[in-house]
Every structure is written in structure tokens, then in C-alpha cells.
Structure 1
Amino acid sequence: MTLDVEKVDSLKQRMAEFIQQLQDDICGALEKLDGKARFREDKWDRPGGGGGRTRVLEDGAVLEKAGVNTSVVFGELEEAFAKKLQGQGRQFWAGGLSLVLHPRNPYVPTVHANYRFIHQGAKAWFGGGADLTPYYLYEEDAGHFHRTLKAACDKHDPSYYPRFKATCDKYFYLRHREETRGVGGLFFEDLGGDLEREFEFVKDAGRAFLPAYLPIAERRKDTPYGEPQRVWQEVRRGRYVEFNLVYDRGTIFGLETKGRIESILMSMPPQARWRYEFHPEPGSHESRLIDVLRNPRDWASGG
């Protein structure tokens, strides 16, 4: 299929506008949730073409660290890396929003989302998704997150949610730990259909983030906790770091395209720990989480 360059250029412009508006909406809602801290903004230019708008909130009442970034970068890829992507040639354009929220309270889950549009040579495609990483498992929270994302999918194609949920479980998997990073969500890459229709889906998926996550954070943010829960949270954050540095495509893409390092690594938690031979007590709430991470469940239909 021949790529319509004019349509792709139009999609680039509209995607850039959409992600910047979504960034504004999400940051405004998160500042309201936190009630204390505000985002600082850094605008940056990429040598070779493009740049971005990084927003980071730190030391909040609810959010210990939050990053909500947008970028539009273009230019020429290194030849070896260009061959690893799905397009053709070394010329590329990539626009996207990426966010990671690390709450202070261990009972509030960490969450990640990313929505992107990439054009490389004679091919253009959308990708992205959202996933939830709890430290303590509440089945109603996992169910709410998944059902909200499923509703966004179902508006476009009832096959989307089961496909993208399965892909998410497979992608966010730490092979060296034999466990998923969290309870999943959606992950999609290059749907292979009409780009205009796919853009409509990406917009609905992006707009579903706040209603999927905010009610969970509101419900758990004031739950009492102590040092043992904080230690467990930091141990699990260590797993988050392991995935992002070893497997995450977005991190690799940012580094390979010579993006801004501070923006690429804003996904790292403010504090994490690695404990030698650390295993939760059998039958504990912590152990129950590990059982679920090793056996993904169908959360949208009740687990």
C-alpha cells in the first residue's frame, strides 16, 4: 500500500496538537489530585531535529515523582538502529506522549502510559498503551483500570481489548524474574489498518487514562502505611527499574535517537532498593501480589 504523504503530514500535525493538549489536561488533573506540588516545565531541542516539552512534579503530597512528557523529533537514524524498526530507511519522524507516576503511598499503584505516531520511510504507524503497577493488590482497582480501557477499545473494535491486553502481559514481562511488571492494561504497535481510524482510537485511548487511574489514586491515597510497606514498595520499584533499563522499547528508542537523557530517564522512581534473596512471607499480601504477577488474570470480566 502506497503511503499518502499529505495525509501522513496532516496526521503528524494533528498528533502533535493532540498530545500537547492531553499533556495539559493530565498535568492539570494531577496537580489537583496532589494538592501540593506543581509541575516544572523544561522545553528542549534535539540536535538533528525536533524537541520536546518535559514536565516533572516532585515531592508532592500524593505523587512522590511524576513525569508527563511530549516530544516531536525527526531526522536521520543510525543505520543499525533503523533496521530494527518497522519502517524503511533512515529518515524518521516520531511524536508522542509518555508518562510515569510514582505515588508516595505504597497502596497507590504506579502507572505508565504512552501514545505515539512514527513515520519511517514508506511506513507510518501508531503505538502505545497504558499499564498499572500496584504494590498491594486490590482486585476492584485492577478491574476498574481494565474495564475503563476496554470501553475505549470497544468503541472502535471489540477485538482490540483482548488482543492488546494479551500483548501487554507479554511485553511487560521480566523474563529474568519470570513475572510481569504489574497487572497490565493495553499495549499495541502498528495496527496495520487505516491511519485515520487508528488515530481516532489513539485519541480515545489517551483520553481514557485519567478516568482509568484517578479514581484509584483518590481511593487509596490516604490509606495508612508504615515502614514495612514502604520497603516493599521500594523493592518492587527496583523491578520497575530493571524492566525500563533492560527491556523497554521507549527507553531504547530515546537513547538511540539521541533524545534528552533527563527526559528519557524521568521514568525512574525517586527511591528504589534491591534486597539480596528477599522473598515475602507465604500467604501475605505481598506474596499474593507475586502470585498474580506470575499468573496474569482477566481483570475486565472480574479476574
Structure 2
Amino acid sequence: MQHPTSVDIQRVREFLLDLQARICERLEQQEQAGGGTARFEIDDWQRPEGGGGRSRVLQNGTVIEKGGVMFSHINISKLPESATARHPEIAGAKAQALGVSLVIHPKNPHIPTSHANVRLFVAEPEGRDPVWWFGGGYDLTPFYPDDADIKAWHQAAHDLCQPFGEDVYAKHKQWCDDYFYLKHRDEQRGVGGLFFDDLNCWDFETCFEYMQAVGNGYLNAILPIFEKHREQPYSEAQREFQLYRRGRYVEFNLVYDRGTLFGLQTGGRIESILVSLPNLAAWSYRPEWEQDSPERRLTEYYLKPQDWLNEL
């Protein structure tokens, strides 16, 4: 198996920094088109153990209530067992991890929360060949789902997967459904998208190309949704429901999310790890929704795995 060289890792790093910049630029354009002036503030940071990152965060915007687009490239001198449960063979090895991870929480309840992540992990067990893989994906969490948006989101995911194999979309769509599941609530986090991890089944170059396709695909999929709903009116009741459903997002990220847990287990930068959490969220005790209401239909239909390309 081909192993990534320092040149390969530098190429991945350069792509990730460019991806971060392009995503922030295009989302700032949405903020400005909606009459807002908020910008992504840049916070460069270093990690005592080695490496660092660039955090870019927009808060209290007119269109985007909170958005974090985070780049990191960290060095780990010794992987703890708690962070290598799925790969015990690399426990104690030195490693490096680099990636871009983002969560965007729009203010308008008609624009879904969206998440994307692309990353490369390389471990160097003593006396053995390096162990590497790519991971990532993107997913959508609507509050008031729009069928055309959901179908277009999944069509974009399907199309970017096609050059890599007829079965890639189906596999990574299923993986997304399985991963973004709140077991304690028995519901999906949203309507899914793509998720993949431990990807090294192709040569390094092909894996890198797929990671790039997913990263670039996020922008292509999310911008039309912003354009469509940016000016759509909403009620205070819809805003309250959005905050209530954001509580589920918080629950997933703190209880199940591998990236959050890995960051905490490896002594990551707390502000960057928890930037995915919204500034505002709410919890209510056993709220009731009308039987035929959009709020009830969200949990009874949309938060169940569906074949969105053929169902809608």
C-alpha cells in the first residue's frame, strides 16, 4: 500500500486551508446578501504538544447566527488507548491529524443547520509501516424540511460519488444514517448525506480526490438552500421550535460525536472542539405538537432513514 509522504501531507494541508477560506468567503456573501455585516473572525492558535490550527468563527449575524469553520493540523506524541478503541494496533504510536470541520447554524428556521468534515489521519507505530486513512462527509439538519432541498442535497452527494464507484453513495449514505443517530431519542439527527471513515481502500491519490470532492461538494449543495430561504418569513413559534430542536444537536455532539470525543481524549483545544454548539438552544419537558403539524411530521417522517432520491 502506498503511504503518504511529507509532500502528500503538505498537499492535503494546502487544500484544506483553501477549502476553509472558500467556504468562509461564500458564506459571508450570504450574510451580506441578507443585510448583515458579521464576518468570520480568524483565530490562529498553536498547540504545546505540536501543531495548531486556524479557527474562523462568525457569531450573531443576520443570516448566520453562529458558524464555525475550523482547520487544524495537530501532532500527537502518543495516542491514548481511549482514542484508539477501534484501532488498538496504533495505541501509543505518534500521529498527526489534519482536517476542516464546520457547523453552520442559520438564524432563519427555514434554513437547516449543516455540517461538513474532511480529514486525514496518519499514525506511525514504532517499527511498522505508517497507518493512514481519510474520513469525512456532510449532513443536513432541517427544522422545517423542504422536499426539493432534501432531494437536491442527496442528488449532489450521489453525483460526486459516481466517479468513485456505483455503490459509494449507497454505502456512505447508509453510514451517515447509522452514524448520525441519537439512540437515546430513537431518531436521526437530520436527513443525512454522506459519512465515511477509515478510507484507504483505494490508493492515496484516489482517496484524496474523493475527500476533495466531498469538501467541495458541501458548498455546491448548501448555497442553493441559503439562496432559496434566506428571506423567507418565520414566526416566533417556528423560532422556538428551532431552538428546541437545536437541543438535539447539542445532545448528539456531546454524547456520540467521534470528533468531539477524540479531541477531548487527546487534549485538544476546547474552544475549537465545542465550537459546533449553537449560542442558543432550548430543552422542554415533553412538548406536544398537533397531530398534522410540520413539527410532528419532522420527527415522524423526516427523522427516519429514507431513500430520499426516490421517496420525494
Residue pair 2:150, 2:308 contacting (<8 A) in 1 also: yes
Unpaired runs of 5+ in structure 1? none
1:169-211: per-residue Cα shift (whole Å, max 9, x none)? 0000000000000000000012322121110111111111111
Distance 2:205 2:90 in 1: 21
1:222 corresponds to which residue? 231
Deviation at 1:259, TM superposition (A): 1.5
Please report how far the alpha carbon of residue 149 of structure 1 lies from its aligned counterpart in structure 2 after TM superposition: 1.4
Number of the residue aligned with 1:80: 81
Name the CA shift for 1:101/1:108 in 2 (closer, same or farther; >3 Å).
Answer: same
Shift of 1:297: 1.0
Aligned pair 1:181/2:183, yes or no? no
**Alignment-derived partner of residue 198 in structure 1:** 207
1:293 CA displacement = 4.1
Runs (4+) of structure 1 exceeding 4 A deviation are none
Which digits, 9 at most, give the CA deviation of each residue in 1:97-143, with x for residues without a partner? 00000000001000000000001123100000000000001110111
- In structure 1, the partner of 2:9 is 12
Alignment gaps of 5+ in structure 2: 125-129
Contact 1:164 1:188 in 2 (8 A): yes
1:125 to 127, 130, 133: 133
Which residue does 1:66 correspond to in 2?
Answer: 67
Q: Is the 8 A contact 2:80 2:266 kept in 1?
A: no
State how far apart, in whole Å, the 1-side matches of 2:81 and 2:309 are: 40
Give the CA deviation at 1:78: 4.5
3-state SS of 2:291 partner: coil
Q: Letter of the 2:196 partner, please give it.
A: F
Do 1:130 and 1:186's aligned partners in 2 also have CA atoms closer than 8 Å?
yes
Q: Could you say which residue in structure 2 is the equivalent of 1:56?
A: 57
Q: Which amino acid aligns with 1:66?
A: G
Q: What's the Cα RMSD here?
A: 1.4
Name the stretch that deviates more: 240-249 or 156-165: 156-165
Residue aligning to 1:96: 99
SS in 2 for 1:263: helix
Three-state SS of the structure 1 residue aligned to 2:285 is: coil
Task: Provide the residue aligned with 2:38 in structure 1.
Answer: 37
SS at match of 1:251: helix
CA distance in 2, matches of 1:302, 1:144: 12
Within 2, Cα distance between the matches of 1:254 and 1:293?
31
Q: What is the aligned partner in structure 1 of residue 108 from structure 2?
A: 105
For the residues of structure 1 that align with 2:225 and 2:211, how far apart are their CA atoms?
Answer: 22
User: Aligned partner of 1:260: which letter?
Assistant: R
- What TM-score, normalized to structure 1? 0.95
Residue 28 of structure 1 aligns with which residue?
Answer: 25
CA separation of 1:9/1:85 partners in 2, compared to 1, >3 Å: closer, same or farther?
Answer: farther
**Residue aligning to 2:307:** 298
Q: Would the aligned equivalents of 1:8 and 1:124 in 2 still touch at CA under 8 Å?
A: no
Alpha-carbon separation, structure 1, partners of 2:113 and 2:80: 35
- Structure 1 counterpart of 2:127: none
CA distance, structure 2, for counterparts of residue 119 and residue 57 of structure 1 = 30
Q: Which moved more, 1:229-238 or 1:248-257?
A: 248-257
Q: Superposition pairs for residues 138-149 of structure 1, below 5 Å?
A: 138-149=146-157
SS in 1 for 2:30: helix
Provide the identity percentage: 47
Partner of residue 298, structure 2: 289
Taking the aligned partners of 1:9 and 1:292, their CA distance within structure 2 comes to 47
Aligned residue pairs total 300
Question: For the structure 1 residues 25 and 12, does the alpha-carbon distance in structure 2 shift closer, same or farther, using more than 3 Å as the test?
Answer: same
For the residues of structure 1 that align with 2:159 and 2:147, how far apart are their CA atoms?
Answer: 18
